[in-house]
């Protein structure tokens, strides 16, 4: 079956301005390096990695919200990489995004019904009455009763705002949802509610989700497959349970070791790796051999960036 989303050899180089007064110059920064990913239909793919590893840039490129420097993006089998504004519009409907910080994404002057209905309005779908009715139904689907339609974003809790952001993203019935750290700003119990909501909606609406997170426990409970990013590259990709029980790449294992364990008796020994050690293991991953076992890695080094 054609995947909902496929990224082929995607790269992004940002041009950074280095200050220096009269001698200011631009330098290239390779944020995403030759990333290939497949998101099958009705599945949830987790994209994990430390801050700055290129997860958001990858998700934004998948949606054509950031232009790739190289590579291709396929949505439902169609190459959308070079489509112009008009040709891209139907694909914009198919792909929606939810961010961590939903508050800044919700217009404070609009009611929740207006906020959720706005994408229908932008795409000219149905009458205003019809758009409002659909928006109220979608609010109910995300666990907010119809009376919320008349409220404003500042009246809501963080979890409720995230529900509104999800309702707005799903009102166009997209086939792909990019969820970029959608639960990181939430308390543990609210986090669980939002995860359950995403799972329910995914099953009900046949969604495919690219779930970007550095919260590995959330990723474990939600995803079918996980891709691990390090310095712009995918260093490991496998079924979720395989990642959590039999990770091959030392960087993945060091990420797993960094998950906090509350019970002190169950605490695992931590593994700290240097970037050079992770780099050394990365090119050899494709052969699945030659990856050094953790006990071979010299103790005493720390990988600060993942802590
Ligand atoms: N618009 C931009 N211009 C220049 N550099 C950028 C831009 N956006 C991201 N970067 C850089 O690209 C790299 C990857 O950033 P990105 O936000 O994609 O990583 P991330 O894994 O999503 O991190 P985080 O979890 O902190 O959001 C970082 O070094 C970042 O500083």
Question: Could you give the ipTM of this predicted complex?
Answer: 0.96
Tokens of 86: 């008009």
For residue 54, tell me if it sits in a domain. yes
The reply to whether ligand 1 has any atom less than 6 angstroms from the CB of 57 is yes
pLDDT digits (tens, 9 = 90+) for 52-85: 999 999 999 999 999 999 999 999 999 999 999 9
Predicted structure pTM score: 0.85
CA 60 to centroid of ligand 1, rounded, Å: 11
For residue 37, tell me if it sits in a domain. yes
Can you give the pLDDT at residue 188?
A: 84
For residue 167, tell me if it sits in a domain. yes
Can you give the pLDDT at residue 72?
A: 98
Sign of CA dihedral 221, 225, 231, 232: negative
For residue 283, tell me if it sits in a domain. no
Can you give the pLDDT at residue 284?
A: 47
For residue 99, tell me if it sits in a domain. yes
For residue 288, tell me if it sits in a domain. no
- Percentages helix, strand, coil for the chain, rounded to the nearest 5? 45, 25, 35
Question: In a mutational test of the pocket of ligand 1, which residue from 7, 35, 53, 227 has the highest number of ligand atoms less than 8 Å from its CB?
Answer: 53
The reply to whether ligand 1 has any atom less than 6 angstroms from the CB of 173 is no
**SS3 state at 282:** helix
Under 8 Å CB-to-CB from 49, ≥6 apart: which residues?
Answer: 55, 214, 228, 229, 230, 255
For residue 104, tell me if it sits in a domain. yes
Q: How far, in Å, CA of 99 to CA of 74, rounded? A: 22
Which atom of ligand 1 is least distant from the CA of 212? 22
The CA-based dihedral angle spanning residues 165, 3, 226, 235, taken in that order and rounded to the nearest 10 degrees:
-120
Into how many domains does the chain fold?
A: 1
For residue 278, tell me if it sits in a domain. no
Low-confidence ranges of the chain (pLDDT < 50): 284-307
**SS3 state at 226:** strand
The CA-based dihedral angle spanning residues 129, 131, 137, 140, taken in that order and rounded to the nearest 10 degrees:
-110
DSSP per-residue codes, 112-156: HHHHHHHHHHHTT-S-HHHHHHHHHHHHHHTT--GGGGG--GGGS
The reply to whether ligand 1 has any atom less than 6 angstroms from the CB of 52 is yes
CA 136 to centroid of ligand 1, rounded, Å: 36
Q: What is the DSSP letter of 284?
A: G
Which atom of ligand 1 is least distant from the CA of 58? 18
Largest CA distance in the chain: 66
The reply to whether ligand 1 has any atom less than 6 angstroms from the CB of 288 is no
Which residue matches tokens 């359950």?
196
Domain containing 25 equals: 5-246
CA 31 to centroid of ligand 1, rounded, Å: 7
Question: In a mutational test of the pocket of ligand 1, which residue from 27, 28, 57, 215 has the highest number of ligand atoms less than 8 Å from its CB?
Answer: 57
The CATH number given to whatever domain includes residue 230 is 3.40.50.300
**What residue's CA is closest to ligand 1, atom 1?**
14
Sign of CA dihedral 278, 279, 280, 281: positive
Sign of CA dihedral 166, 169, 170, 175: negative
Which atom of ligand 1 is least distant from the CA of 49? 21
The reply to whether ligand 1 has any atom less than 6 angstroms from the CB of 233 is no
Burial 40-66 (b: 16+ CB within 10 A, else e): bebbbbbbbbbeebbbbbbbbbbbbeb
């Amino acid at each position: 079956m054609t995947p909902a989303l496929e990224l082929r050899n995607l790269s992004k180089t940002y041009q950074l301005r280095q200050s220096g007064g009269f001698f200011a110059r631009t330098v290239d920064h390779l944020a995403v390096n030759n990333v290939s990913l497949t998101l099958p239909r009705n599945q949830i793919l987790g994209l994990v990695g430390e801050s700055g590893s290129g997860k958001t840039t990858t998700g934004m490129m998948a949606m054509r919200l950031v232009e790739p420097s190289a590579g291709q993006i396929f949505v439902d089998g169609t190459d959308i990489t070079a489509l112009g504004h008009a040709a891209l519009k139907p694909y914009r409907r198919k792909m929606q995004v939810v961010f961590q910080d939903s508050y800044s994404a919700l217009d404070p002057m609009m009611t929740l019904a207006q906020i959720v209905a706005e994408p229908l309005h932008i795409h000219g779908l149905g009458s205003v009455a019809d758009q409002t009715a659909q928006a109220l139904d979608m609010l109910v689907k995300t666990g907010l009763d119809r009376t919320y339609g008349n409220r404003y974003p500042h009246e809501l809790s963080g979890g409720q705002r995230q529900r509104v952001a999800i309702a707005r993203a799903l009102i166009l019935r997209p086939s792909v949802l990019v969820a970029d750290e959608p639960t990181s700003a939430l308390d543990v119990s609210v986090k669980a509610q939002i995860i359950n909501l995403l799972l329910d909606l995914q099953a009900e609406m046949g969604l495919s989700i690219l779930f970007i997170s550095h919260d590995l426990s959330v990723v474990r409970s939600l995803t079918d497959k996980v891709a691990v990013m390090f310095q712009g590259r995918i260093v490991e990709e496998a079924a979720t349970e395989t990642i959590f029980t039999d990770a091959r790449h030392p960087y993945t294992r060091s990420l797993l070791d960094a998950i906090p364990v509350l019970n002190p008796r169950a605490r695992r020994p931590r593994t700290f790796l240097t970037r050079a050690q992770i780099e050394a293991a990365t090119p050899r991953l494709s052969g699945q051999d030659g990856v050094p076992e953790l006990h071979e890695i010299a103790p005493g080094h720390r990988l600060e960036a993942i802590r």
